[in-house]
Amino acid sequence: MPQSIFVNIPVADLERSKAFYLALGFSLNLNFADETACCVVISDTIFLMILTYPRFDGFATLPRADTRKTTSVMLALSQNDRAAVDAITNAAVAAGGTEPKPADDHGFMYTRTFQDPDGNVFELFWMDPTAIPTHSG
């Protein structure tokens, strides 16, 4: 079984968050869902656990960050091409997210950033690995 990642993020409104992530083209795994949490399937090995504030707080060992005022984490998700970066970011903005800064194009790498309705930061990127300069150490 390949290693997987389950990223837990706090959300104020579970139903709003489920609708937001569905609008981005992700799916839900309702086997890991109840009135306080839901599993968003990003890929075969990447899962986003959206947790109501009380549920998240029950797992956390430190106070929950106010993602409207501070950045707690930036989740970088690779995409197959620039068009996918644009499509998901545009869908995020249309579904109630925000794009806090313009696209960043380095030629070999293209990124766009969006925040979900709760302020959680996602950076979608495409990178051409053949264009990355290599350094010998």
Q: Where are the domains of the chain?
A: 1-60, 72-129
Is the pLDDT at 116 greater than 80? The verdict is yes
Q: Is 72-129 a CATH 3.30.300.30 domain?
A: no
Note the pLDDT tens digit of each residue in 48-78: 999 999 999 999 999 999 988 998 899 999 9
Note the pLDDT tens digit of each residue in 31-52: 999 999 999 999 999 999 999 9
Is the pLDDT at 137 greater than 70? The verdict is no
Please state, rounded to an integer, the average pLDDT across all residues of the chain: 94
Is the pLDDT at 133 greater than 80? The verdict is no
Q: Which of residues 137 and 58 earns the better pLDDT score?
A: 58
Q: Which CATH superfamily is domain 1-60 in?
A: 2,3-Dihydroxybiphenyl 1,2-Dioxygenase, domain 1 (3.10.180.10)
Residues 6 or more apart whose Cβ sits within 8 Å of residue 78: 124, 125, 126, 127
**Residue 120 structure tokens:** 């959680």
Whole-model pTM: value is 0.90
Note the pLDDT tens digit of each residue in 81-97: 999 999 999 999 999 99
- Distance (Å, rounded) from C-alpha 115 to C-alpha 118? 7
Percent of the chain with pLDDT over 70: 96
The edge-to-edge listing of strands for the beta sheet with 5-11 is: 5-11, 46-52, 37-41, 27-34
Fold match, 1-60 / 72-129: yes
